[in-house]
Structure 1
Amino acid sequence: MRFTRSRSRLLAAAVGLGLAATAMATPAVAAPAETGASAKALAAAYAAVDSAVSRSALSGIAWYTDEATGKVVVTADSTVPASALGTLTRTVGADADAITIKRAKGEFKPFLGPGDAIHGAGTRCSLGFNVRSGGTHYFLTAGHCAEDVGTWYTNAGQTTRIGPTVKSSFPGNDYALVRYANDSLSHQGGYSVGDARVGQRVTRDGSSTGAHSGRVEALDVSVRYRGSGTVRGMIQTDICAESGDSGGPLYAGSTALGITSGGSGDCSSGGTTFYQPVREAVNAYDVNLY
């Protein structure tokens, strides 16, 4: 099996309501746009939400600061009862006016499942981006995929070895580094590292559902997955994904942006997905895309 960019690329590897500006009586002078809470109030609201979620048993929830609207956007998946959101709002207290509550279909969870891509310990995930350090070649995938996988294979029968998991980080982050130890496998490159922008058109690829495109909704998002841990600094998009797509690449053209972490929904009804920024992973492991 050749690990090339041509193999679906993967083997080559959230808004509150802004208030409009109003015209004043003085000629040629307009009032500045209201942008919601002040920076200090916004920071306090974010800290209050973060603390409330961390101290509770609440999961299936994501939150980030939307500086454009002056709101902290809290997105709850379908498993979070309305009563729990009410409790969260009351716990936040006076800072609740700086919060916008949204709902997402399905359940926020790390994507993981059986199938046909990179295999290990009875699970399947997707290869993200190829990287190297000196003359040694590796690839990046999701950290939650690699927690219990010592060795990866190209097939479910585990007859063609790729190589070992060298390092992994989850929760908090969601990235892992796997070393190529099979000289018969090619590992072409073709990407450079970049940073995602809100509104940017992007594509993600995965071994379950292939390539799907959409837009970046938010940056620096914190997510507490159901039945798992909290990850921070994530990219949020409106692109669908399903189990087994974890670890796959998020990119814009030849610019590598993220590694698929988790989300909700599916590619029939749509969903919300979260990605580990690639730049953080390559910096953590002192490797380079090529």
Structure 2
Amino acid sequence: MEFTLFLAALALFQPIVYGAPTQAVNSLHPEILAAMKRDLGLDAEQAHVRVARELQATEVIEQLRTLAGNSFGGAWLVDGELNVAVTDEALASEVTAAGATPLVVSNSLSKLEEAKEALDNLDIKQTKRLEATGIAAYYVDFAANKLVLEALSGSTAQAEDLAKQVGLVESEFEVRTVKELPSTFVTVRGGDPYYINNSARCSVGFSVTTGFVSAGHCGSAGDSATTSSGVALGTFSGSVFPGSGDYSYIRGSSGNTFSGTINNYSGGTITVSGSTASAVGASICRSGSTTGVFCGTVRALGATVSYSQGRVTGLTQTNVCAEPGDSGGSFYSGAQAQGVTSGGSGDCTSGGTTYFQPVNEILSAYSLTLARG
């Protein structure tokens, strides 16, 4: 696309990105507003404007990524404002003209993503290798313009060696220490909304027209899904975990209704209207059967996480808390479905890091149609 045409297209987006919210986001559910006020410190007007900006920023990012090509260094949001990194200084003025803040960086996003993919392919059949060496996760940090490896304090040397094995030099990666390795949130404690083989509890992710989706570690193909009273909800038709994702599809039993809504754990529901993926830095909320609704921001896309059961690729990292039993639960931005809760570390008393499996990959894998309210 020629740059003049690109700017003409952006003219349609900028009144929304930098002006008043659209009617669609102006009708955010009261429970979403309450959670964003509590966890992000936003009033109603600020929440509406921020969600509108973040929704439209997705379009702008894709346009700029196409324009920059191999010079694209990543894009992220800070309080709703869009930052775009490029390796070619000549593109900075064009980023500014598009309404974003330019940053000239050394490493292209494609180079860092290739290094991450190389890590994914390293001893791919030995899925527990990274977890055994104390590596918690790794992902591309757009703002830092580096591949970040998270590791236990005694495993930083192993993390550095891994980065060098895939051809990175010290200026291209960073090792960050974490207090504990992530874990999945399966529990055998009682509670809503569904049980696997009348035993372990997980949370429904999102309804589809033929059932619902959840986390892969919650169950395997053939396992049953029931309510706390034993009423049949469906049967696991497919499940992926560990490896290329953490997702499952539960084909619903006849007679059940699968609604395009999310439990707000305050006696009401939140409507799902689509599944447009949010950018790094965007606000996001999670609903789960143990802790209810909590909000935070997206921290990284395409993270690879090492659980005790094995390595999982393609997850999104957030600073939203979660606890056992929240596994499989809904991650959403505004009324847009984002993904299903995978695992993480910490809790909702002290805070933590939680990863989710993007929902669009699940829908694509099983040719499903998201149920909308």
Tell me the TM-score range normalised by the shorter chain.
0.7 to 0.9
Query: What is the letter of the counterpart of residue 283 of structure 1?
Result: S
Structure 1 residue corresponding to 2:241, chosen from 158, 166, 170? 170
The residue type equivalent to 2:353 in the other structure is T
Following superposition, the deviation at residue 51 of structure 1 comes to 5.6
Q: Which runs of 5+ in 1 are unaligned?
A: 1-5, 10-14, 16-31
The farther-off stretch of 108-117 and 43-52 is: 43-52
Matched-pair contact (CA < 8 Å) for 1:222–1:231: yes
Q: 1:154 to 1:102 in 2, by over 3 A?
A: same
Matched residues, percent identical?
35
The 1-side partners of 2:238 and 2:162 are apart by 38
Residues 255 and 42 (structure 1), Cα distance of their counterparts in 2 relative to 1, 3 Å cut: closer
Q: Which amino acid is the alignment partner of residue 119 of structure 1?
A: Y
TM-score when normalising by structure 1: 0.78
Question: Which residue in the other structure is 1:260 paired with?
Answer: 341
Q: Report Cα offsets for 1:25-66 as digits up to 9, x if no partner.
A: xxxxxxx95524355763564356446685683315111123
Q: 1:120 aligns with which of 177, 191, 196?
A: 196
Query: Which digits, 9 at most, give the CA deviation of each residue in 1:216-266, with x for residues without a partner?
Result: 0011111111x2121111111000101110100000121100110111111
Aligned pairs for 1:223-242 (under 5 A) are 223-225=305-307, 227-242=308-323
Q: Counterparts of 1:139-218 in structure 2 under 5 Å?
A: 139-147=212-220, 150-155=223-228, 159-171=230-242, 172-183=244-255, 185-189=256-260, 190-191=271-272, 192-218=274-300
1:72 to partner: Cα distance: 0.2
Q: Do the aligned partners of 2:221 and 2:235 also contact (CA within 8 Å) in 1?
A: no
Query: Which residue of structure 2 lines up, in the alignment, with residue 37 of structure 1?
Result: 107
Q: Take 2:367 and 2:345, find their aligned partners in 1: how far apart are those partners?
A: 31
Does residue 65 (structure 1) correspond to residue 140 (structure 2)? The answer is yes
Relative to structure 1, the CA distance from residue 112 to residue 45 in structure 2 (aligned partners, 3 Å threshold; closer, same or farther) is same
Q: Which residue of 2 aligns with 1:107?
A: 181
Contact 1:105/1:265 (CA < 8 Å) preserved in 2?
no
Aligned pairs for 1:4-43 within 5 A: 35-37=105-107, 42-43=112-113
1:88 to 155, 159, 176: 159
What residue is the counterpart of 1:28 in the other structure? none
**Structure 2 CA distance for partners of 1:159 and 1:33, relative to 1, 3 Å:** closer
* Closer/same/farther in 2, CA of residues 244 and 39 from structure 1, 3 Å limit: closer
Following superposition, the deviation at residue 166 of structure 1 comes to 1.4
Seen in structure 2, the aligned counterparts of structure 1 residues 61 and 188 have a Cα distance that, compared at 3 Å, is same
Gaps of 5+ in 2: 1-28, 33-75, 77-101, 261-270
Quick one: which amino acid aligns to residue 111 of structure 1?
A: F
Take 2:246 and 2:359, find their aligned partners in 1: how far apart are those partners? 10
Q: Distance in 2 between matches of 1:286 and 1:148?
A: 17
Question: Relative contact order (C-alpha < 8 Å, sep 6+): which is higher?
Answer: 1
- For the residues of structure 1 that align with 2:300 and 2:183, how far apart are their CA atoms? 18
Q: Does the aligned pair in 2 maintain the 1:131–1:140 contact within 8 Å?
A: yes
Equivalent residue number for residue 269 of structure 1? 350
CA contact (8 A) 1:48 1:95 kept: no
Shift of 1:120: 1.7
In structure 2, how many angstroms separate the alpha carbons of the residues matched to 1:108 and 1:53?
A: 20
Contact 1:45–1:96 at 8 Å: present in 2 too?
A: no
Q: Check whether the contact 1:105–1:271 (CA below 8 A) recurs between aligned residues.
A: no
Question: How far apart are 1:148 and its partner, in Å?
Answer: 6.7
TM-score (norm 2): 0.61
Between 1:167-176 and 1:44-53, the stretch displaced more is 44-53
Structure 1 residue 188: deviation in Å? 1.6
Cα distance change on mapping 1:90 and 1:105 into 2, 3 Å = closer
Aligned residues: 253
